Structure formats: C-alpha cells, structure tokens
Amino acid sequence: MPDYIASRYYPARIGEIFRNRYQIVGRLEFGASSTVWLARDMNYRRYVALKIFIKSVCMGPQLDDELQMYKRMERGSKSHPGHSAVRSLLDSFNASGSEDKHRCLMHPPLWDSVLTFLHRNPGQRLPAPVLAFVLKRLFLALDYLHAEYQIIHTDIKADNIMFGIADDSVFSEFEENEPQPPCLRKELEGRTIYVSRELRVPRNWSTPVLCDFGSTVPGGEEHTEDIQSNIYRAPEVILEVPWTYSVDIWNVGCMIWNIFEGESLFTGFDPESRTYRSRAHLAEMIKVAWASPAQSPYPRKAKS
C-alpha cells in the first residue's frame, strides 16, 4: 500500500495471545484501517476472526460508532429472522500499542464476499438462483436493521455481503499449513510484516450475512451527509436533500443490476471531465426513468 505507515498498525505476531483467551493463527486480510487475523478462542475451542484497527487517534468517531451499533443490536430481540442475516459481534476490547490503543472486534470467521464470488464466475455475473438466495438474506437483514433497530446501513455493496463457513476443516488446515517458522514478508521498523493468506474454498458454505457497520447512522431522522459509493448514490444524496431508510433500498436496487447483469446501471461518467460527476449521474437516472422500452439504454431480450 502506497500510504502504509507502520506505526499506525498494531504489531501483532502469530502465536500472540490476547486477554488470555485469543491466540493468533495467521493473517487473513490487510487494509487501510485494520488487519484481520484468524485466531483460536481457547475458552470455547473455536476459531474466530480478530479485526485489529489502526491506532484509535487515527480512526476518529467512526470507531466508536461501529461498536455502538453492534451493542445496540445485541440488546434487541434475537427472534427476528433477520438476526442471523447480519454479522454478529462476539467480543470487543482494546489492545495497547506502543503509542496508542487499538480497538479489537471479534467475529465469527467468514469466507469470501459476493464480489469475490462474482469474480470467480467466468461470466462475471451472479446466477439467478444464487442471487435470489443472497437477496432473501439481504432483505431480512435490512428489515431487521430498519424495523427493529432504526439503523440505516448506507454502504450496501457486493463486498459487504459475505458467505459464512460451515466447514471447520478450512480453519484447521489454515493453521496447520502455516509454515514453521511462520512465513514472513519482511522486517520493518522493528516489526514483523506477515503475508496475508486465503482460506481455501469450503466444502460447505453457510448463509450470507451483511457486514461492515462503520458507516451506519441512526434512522428515524433525516440526514444530509454525503454517503454511498458513487455508482450507488441515491437521488436524494446527489441532490443534497434530506434522506432516510430509502437510500438503502435504492442502493440494493443498483447493486442487484450490477451483480446480475455484470455491469453498472449508472456510472456517473462525464465525458468532458473524464471522471465521475453528479450531473452526469442524474442525467443517466432521467434517461433510464423516462425512456420508453424502445428507447431504453438497457433493452431486455425477448423471451423465446
């Protein structure tokens, strides 16, 4: 990563134990704001995903916002069918680094996202049966967030929907295959930088869940913040008028087109500036909404 600053990250080591309970097995992911590790929960003899954020002073209020949303969901009813359709939080704590604290979140480990599943498909689209299965779970998750907890997600996209794993051998093989001594990428500024490793494709998947609650906001009130990925921005967001739960539904609609058709419904690409522009995005929306079937830029093939 070009903007990598080692001092922002917690210098986790394979074999390190947190809270006398969680032992790191290997690194799964590395990102701009966190690293994700596979760990063993020695109390319950299970594998967990440990997400360690960069030092708290660099994260701002978003760090506490995400944890508060998880705690808000923990206090509610677990009888709603959408409860199992959102990623659960198993534990949270702070790890002390050399300069600051690092927030740690513990989750059940997951496999790949819908986006990765899409890329594995030669046609770069999601087959209709898989799409229907994913959408059923997604709408349950949204009803759970909107109706039960008055939470607006604001960032629904294919890489925030992940498949569960119902095959524990995936984790044990990951641990067994960690080279001894552990595979190192480099030593940098007195810390060990580990190579991220992928879990193998599980023999049995579990149901998909909606993840990433770092951008969620309380519902029941109108907002005007700029949210969503550019191609998924709702009209209210572009026009900078108050928005609420409906932005999530718009977001889902655009994503459905994207993962089923293999292309974006809207791009917002402005040929003059050769970049994304809000006015270009709005023009595309108008063209799609008011075009007759014959004039539609997205004609559908007639059924035989």
Residue 175 neighbours by CB under 8 Å, 6+ apart: 25, 26, 38, 40
Q: Do 153 and 122 have their domain in common?
A: yes
**Is residue 303 in a domain?**
no
Look up residue 173 and give its amino acid: E
**Is residue 301 in a domain?**
no
How far is the C-alpha of 37 from the C-alpha of 24, rounded, in Å? 7
How far is the C-alpha of 158 from the C-alpha of 118, rounded, in Å? 9
The pLDDT of residue 49: 97
DSSP codes of every residue in 69-98:
HHHHHHTS-S-STTGGGB----EEEEEE-S
The pLDDT of residue 7: 80
Q: Considering 199, 218, 240, which residue would you say is the last residue of a domain?
A: 199
Q: Do 14 and 50 have their domain in common?
A: yes
Q: Do 90 and 190 have their domain in common?
A: yes
Q: Do 39 and 130 have their domain in common?
A: no
Q: Which residues are catalytic?
A: 155
Q: Do 238 and 146 have their domain in common?
A: yes
Q: Do 26 and 100 have their domain in common?
A: yes
The pLDDT of residue 303: 44
Q: Do 210 and 254 have their domain in common?
A: yes
**Is residue 124 in a domain?**
yes
The pLDDT of residue 63: 76
Range of the domain at 11: 1-109+168-199
CATH of the domain at 61: 3.30.200.20
The pLDDT of residue 304: 39
Q: Considering 199, 221, 253, which residue would you say is the last residue of a domain?
A: 199
Q: Considering 179, 199, 219, which residue would you say is the last residue of a domain?
A: 199
How far is the C-alpha of 166 from the C-alpha of 278, rounded, in Å? 43
Q: Do 245 and 280 have their domain in common?
A: yes
User: Mean pLDDT per 10-residue run, the chain (304 residues)?
Assistant: 74 93 94 92 96 82 83 84 94 87 94 88 82 96 94 95 92 83 63 82 90 90 94 96 97 94 92 95 92 57 45
Q: Do 225 and 119 have their domain in common?
A: yes
Q: Do 286 and 189 have their domain in common?
A: no
How far is the C-alpha of 280 from the C-alpha of 266, rounded, in Å? 9
Strands (E), 10-127: 17-18, 22-30, 34-41, 46-53, 91-96, 101-107, 110-113
Q: Do 145 and 247 have their domain in common?
A: yes
Instruction: Give the residue among 55, 7, 17, 18 at the shortest CA–CA distance from 191.
Output: 7
**Is residue 4 in a domain?**
yes
**Is residue 127 in a domain?**
yes
Q: How many domains does the chain have?
A: 2
**Is residue 302 in a domain?**
no
**Is residue 56 in a domain?**
yes
pTM of full prediction above 0.85: yes
Q: Do 149 and 184 have their domain in common?
A: no
CATH of the domain at 272: 1.10.510.10
